[in-house]
Structure 1
Amino acid sequence: LFHIDNLEESGILPANVVYSLSDLYGESFEEFKAGWRYIESQKRLRAIQTLAELCETNYDLGYELLAYLGFEDEMPEIRAASVDLVWFDASEKLFHRLMALAEDHSPIVRAAAISGLGRFIYEAEVAHFNGQLAEMARDFVVERYYDYLEDVQVRRSALEAASQGSHPAVPDMILEAYQSPEHEMRVSALFAMGASCDTERWRDIVMQELDSQYPDMRFQAARAAGELVLEEAVIKLFELANEPDYEIKTQAIISLGDIGSNEAKRSLNALAERATQEGDNDLLEVIEEAIEYSSFMGGLLLPMFDFDEDNE
């Protein structure tokens, strides 16, 4: 608690604190809980955000008890941020808690909870979660999207969550959002196009938006091009990978790895050569991971065509 109470805006926590908070349970957690409420709200929020970022990349960390404590916090930002602490959890317990938070009086909490429900909708699509519960979530988020009096961030989250599943309303929702006069809804529509995996329906729009004048639209179009495996997008993605905007650049590289065609691999190799020459090790790491992913996925597909010549 001392380290959290003295947490600066940099959000840096000592490694021993990061791991000790992950191991909290029983009496240790009760002692932590008793002192937690006396810490300034902004510092509590900063701690939650810092730990959420860390557990995204370190699967050894788990903050379930801290997340549920955060769900009860009086500060809406903390309730919302706590959802990210359990991004990996697909339990029915969390599902029901998120359904409750999706009715919170604060729109930022509702938006965060609905985003979390998108994971359960997806997990049910691949048979890793209770289908009946996921259907409840699908119907709920579709209803939220069509509530035009709802906060736009909540409606965006509802669209993005619904696109993770196969609700029949999703194509119409995406098209309506894309035609919206609200720029943020159009951004979410592009996200949803990629998440829907409906390549033939959204191919032309995604290709068009790779040339958008808006950086956030180009970012989402690059993301969607990878998810939809648009081989015709490789040349444009290579161009985007040379943009000064780092987020667009890295997303274009990731999408080239997702597409994994020979042309995409050649583009990644060219980008790797340039990053090496420029000494950009951070970007080189992103490129190497994309190349590795592309090779891995190619290896999974090869057995499909490994015919026995003796049987021809």
Structure 2
Amino acid sequence: MGLKDEIRPVGPNFTQTLALVVQLEPGQMIPPVIVQGLSELLPSQIIDMYPVWESLSVEVKRDLMTALIEAGESDFATDFSLLGIMALDDHDADIRSLAIDLCVHVTSGRHAALLLDMAQNDEAEIVRAAAIRALGTFVLEGELDKLDTALNDAIVDYLLHVVLSDDSLLARTRAIESLGYSSHPQVPQQILKAYESGEPVLKTASIFAMGASSDSRWRDHVLHELERGTIEDRFEAARAAGELELTEAVRLLSEIALAEERQLAGAAIWSLGEIGGKEAIRVLEALAERASADEDDDLLDVIEDALDSANAADGMIPGFDASDDK
């Protein structure tokens, strides 16, 4: 997909945003103007936001947090991190869990230590599980030598403890996912144990971990799930095939990319872009023609992003045709 010029409307000032926030009612759709006005807040604005936040009902807080998370997933130019940090100690467990998701781009060691504390000590299972899942980012940071070694070791040791304990199924599932990024020698054994556990959600988590590991030992497991897994397992296997860059998966991914289930098809398309190569590019170009003929612009955007990735992997500049330079 080529570069697009984007004109952003001028948002309200922060005082106006707060005035709109206090008028929100439970179940009301959060207006885009509020979402925009709460992005990239300054610390001083968070101080002003806090009493307003405390005055809101639990239902409105949940609605607002959900809207901000969805906005962050679709618009990478937004940043609600400080608001998320503010809400991490909210008295409502659902809001604390949502706040963890809102802090997805916070990668400081201080935040990692806070998440570890929440994972160990929060009274609500949903919050502990969200914190355990979020720790996966910091396991990867540790593998890249971007996190204090002692803190990284403490996180990995705790995640292994959760997996080996009689902790809740949800907590163990999230721990397997986060451990996928770790090179700790015990991790492959725990991934395989989860895969063979007979517990569907643990198996699905183990396939996620296989992809996160970047370890080619999981090739046959991923290919098997692509062909015969449940829809949840096929989704994770489709993503894992791209992360492992399995050229052997191109044919199966090509078939999955035609699936009516949009998320599953999207995962296959993304992986074709990650794998690259002539066959993957040929498939993506054919999918792009089909999406264009169907006037499916959303799907076409996904395919064009994958084509850019595939072409870059092959050393081609997206949007550049060598035949034009003659």
Taking the TM superposition and a 5 Å limit, the aligned residue runs for 1:110-259 are 110-147=128-165, 149-199=166-216, 201-259=217-275
Q: CA deviation at 1:297?
A: 2.4
Q: Does the alignment pair 1:29 with 2:41?
A: no
Distance 1:280 1:165, change over 3 A: same
Alpha-carbon distance between aligned partners in 1 of 2:44 and 2:303, rounded to the nearest angstrom:
46
Percent identity over the alignment? 36
**d(CA) in 2 for partners of 1:61, 1:281:** 23
Q: Which amino acid aligns with 2:145?
A: A
Equivalent-residue separation in structure 1 for 2:186 and 2:104 (angstroms): 26
Count residues with an aligned counterpart.
298
Deviation at 1:45, TM superposition (A): 1.1
CA shift in 2, pair 1:64/1:281, >3 Å: closer
SS of the counterpart of 2:56? coil
What is the Cα deviation at residue 278 of structure 1? 1.3
- Tell whether the 8 Å contact from 2:139 to 2:181 is kept in structure 1 after alignment: yes
For 1:291, the equivalent position in structure 2 comes to 307
Cα drift, residue 12 of structure 1: 3.1
Contact 2:215 2:244 in 1 (8 A): yes
Mapped to 1, the partners of 2:40 and 2:214 lie a distance apart of: 38
2:126 maps to 1:108: yes
Q: CA deviation at 1:144?
A: 1.0
- Whether the aligned pair in 2 keeps the contact of 1:7 and 1:13 (CA below 8 Å) is no
In 2, Cα distance between equivalents of 1:114 and 1:52: 18
What residue ranges of structure 2 are gaps of 5+ in the alignment? 1-17, 317-326
- Name stretches of at least 5 consecutive residues in structure 1 with no aligned partner: 301-312
Q: Which residue of the partner structure matches residue 41 of structure 1? A: 58
Pairwise CA RMSD of aligned residues? Answer: 1.9
| Aligned with 2:30 (options 12, 33, 39) | 12
The alpha-carbon distance between structure 1 residues 130 and 206, as it changes in their structure 2 partners (threshold 3 A), is: same
Whole-Å Cα distance in 2 between the matches of residues 173 and 13 of structure 1? 45
1: CA distance between counterparts of 2:42 and 2:274?
A: 40
Counterpart position of 2:320: none
Question: 1:8, 1:211 → 2: CA distance?
Answer: 44
Indicate yes or no: 2:84 matched with 1:67: yes
**In 2, distance between residues paired with 1:273 and 1:124?**
42
1:39 CA displacement: 1.0
Q: CA deviation at 1:165?
A: 1.4
Counterparts in 2 of 1:21 and 1:206: CA distance versus 1, 3 Å:
same
Q: Which amino acid is the alignment partner of residue 167 of structure 1?
A: H
Alpha-carbon shift at residue 2 of structure 1 (Å): 4.7
Counterpart residue number, 1:85: 102
1:54 deviates by: 1.8
- Structure number with higher relative contact order (C-alpha < 8 Å, ≥ 6 residues apart): 2
Q: 1:151 to 1:2 in 2, by over 3 A?
A: farther
Distance 1:256 1:91 in 2: 33
TM-score by length of 1: 0.90
For 1:153 and 1:2, how far apart are their aligned partners in 2? Answer: 39
The 1-side partners of 2:153 and 2:229 are apart by: 37
Corresponding residue of 1:304: none
Query: Does the 8 A contact of 1:7 with 1:47 survive in 2?
Result: no
